[in-house]
Amino acid sequence: MAGHRKLVERYRVAKGGAFRLTGVDPADSGGIKSKREAREALASGVARLEGLQEKLYAQDRWAVLAIFQAMDAAGKDGTIKHVMSGINPQGCDVHSFKQPSSEELDHDFLWRCGIRLPERGRIGIFNRSYYEEVLVVRVHPEFLASQHMPPELTGAGIWKERFEDINAFERHLTRSGTRVLKFFLHVSPEEQRRRFLERLDTPQKRWKFSPADVAEREHWDAYMTAYEEMIQHTATPHAPWYVVPADHKWFARFLVAEALIAALEDLHLAFPKVAKERGKELDRARAALA
């Protein structure tokens, strides 16, 4: 367990300043030697997560928000599916944020995610998030035109301002009892290409593919610059980024699970203690049942 926590820290970015994506190899496996080893460790991690989530729910004091960002085919859906496979559905909510609706565009860029935040005692999963506003919108600035913002507010400084707003928002969440973890699944363009071809060649996976996915590959360098600057400006001790090598799905899933476990363990969760008077009531109830 201690060894896994140390491994997780290797990919944790709590101060983004000098961070460089080139310092993380998408094919890295953290010294895990095989898919079998990672799967066995993940199975153990899923069981530990189940126990921690039960205490989180019962204690009803903290909330956990896990945000997933990545290029297409990096494995977000599969990672969420496998890592959260042992979690009681009553204590977990998953929200996928795709193209904004007209109602969402009539609000500030944090609004649609803000109304989906997890309640105390629950784990919230964001499959994409408000970070799209400094990623896809930055790579395609023409999208700003659809957000009905006053032109004087959409100048060159908008990205810096949005980073500031995000940091303030996440600081507010943390001060209100929500632990924020952010995962960037870092896949290589070569592995993405291989996965796209696999989707096209596998009948039951073809539905996942969109021609737009190929078009976005032409902007790869712009996206990598946007991701790097996003991490540099929004990685903080209270809301760190985990830059997860994602060329090996089995390693990415293992690492995400261990990061969640470490965060939950740091909350020192426990089942609520029954007050003395309440205990007497329960003893009388037990006697009546007996």
Residue 271 has a pLDDT of: 95
- Residue 212, pLDDT > 70, answer yes
Q: Which domain holds residue 195?
A: 2-289
Q: How many residues does the chain have?
A: 290
Query: What is the number of structural domains in the chain?
Result: 1
Of 221, 198, 219, 220, the residue nearest 209 (C-alpha): 198
- Provide the pLDDT confidence category of residue 2 given band limits of 50, 70 and 90: low
- 72/167 Cα distance (integer angstroms): 25
**Average pLDDT along the chain:** 95
Q: What is the CATH number of the domain that holds 55?
A: 3.40.50.300
Residue 3 has a pLDDT of: 65
pLDDT tens-place string over residues 135-189 = 999 999 999 988 989 999 999 899 999 999 999 999 999 999 999 999 999 999 9
Please state the rounded mean pLDDT for residues 115-137.
98
- Residue 51, pLDDT > 80, answer yes
Parallel, antiparallel or unpaired: strands 12-13 and 178-186: unpaired
At residue 178's C-alpha, the angle toward residues 2 and 38, to 5°, is 35
